[in-house]
Structure 1
Amino acid sequence: MKKEFKFSYHHLASFEELNEDQKIVAQAAEKATLKAHAPYSNFKVGAALLLNDDTIVIGSNQENKAYPTGLCAERVALFSYGAQQNKQGIKILAITCVGDLLKEGDIFSPCGGCRQAMAEYTEIQKAPFEIIMKNGDGSYLIFEGVHQLLPFIFGSK
């Protein structure tokens, strides 16, 4: 039996097209790239969570000489949220980057490990959160939840 998976997302051409909450969290993710420790890849990634009470939690990628012990920005933000035992819930996750690895026409997308971490926090709060990714051309992809990025989440039924 053949089955299909389909998903949809929004593609916005510029920052100006984002709504106010999206702008706030996208700007926080941009600022988080300044805190990245990326001396090996020179690819700085920032992530920011906008919580339901409008609190911002940031993360940035943290590389380490003892590869692969570094950590992606998305997981730094999510694990920080979890470590602080925040209960208010995540509304939006924004991810952005600075570096030559993302060319002007490229789409920016989180790794599989980060997608699975997003899935875990979606399950914990029993509700999806919006995911915003800034591309190399300055446009944004907006997903309603991680299920659009990772259809067969580990542990799916």
Structure 2
Amino acid sequence: LCGAVIASPWIFYQIWNFVAAGLYPHEKHYVHVFLPFSLGLFLAGCSLAFFFVFEPVLTFLLGFNKSMNIDPDPRINEWLSFVLILPLGFGISFQLPLVMLLVERLGIVTISTYLEKWRIAVLGIFVLSMIVTPADPISMLLLAIPLTVLFILGIALCKWMPKRKSPYGEGYDP
């Protein structure tokens, strides 16, 4: 694991060199524009998990053991999976505004659809939060509430960054 973390810049550089060879210049521009935002959202999600979610979740989960006078005995693989999966789930989930913008730009979903179906989206956010986090309501809420705010910010982002008209006409697809 430590080796993967240390080698990750080189790995990402190699992946980028492979992918960039097949991209048009305007596509590379999108990567250069959106990658910092994506990285910032990922780090914000991981930071939220580390600094605000771990303590209440562990207090809640270990509280069951105290009420039954049982000493907790977590195994190292369980602890590592908890410590790695929770921030990873938060970081990936925080990509929601950029995914919403991408789906809107591709023409799959419109802004009006986001506004009409917001109740279903919030329900989906809560279901996703139940799947990604451990089996306790506190961590679910600590992920679902920021994701709901990010959903609203995603709608604002789609409105704020409208589609640009192609200089080549409607049917042009580079």
Q: Could you say which structure has the higher strand fraction? A: 1
The structure with the largest alpha-carbon Rg is 2
Normalised to the residue count of structure 2, the TM-score between the two structures is: 0.26
Normalised to the residue count of structure 1, the TM-score between the two structures is: 0.28
Q: Could you say which structure has the higher helix fraction? A: 2
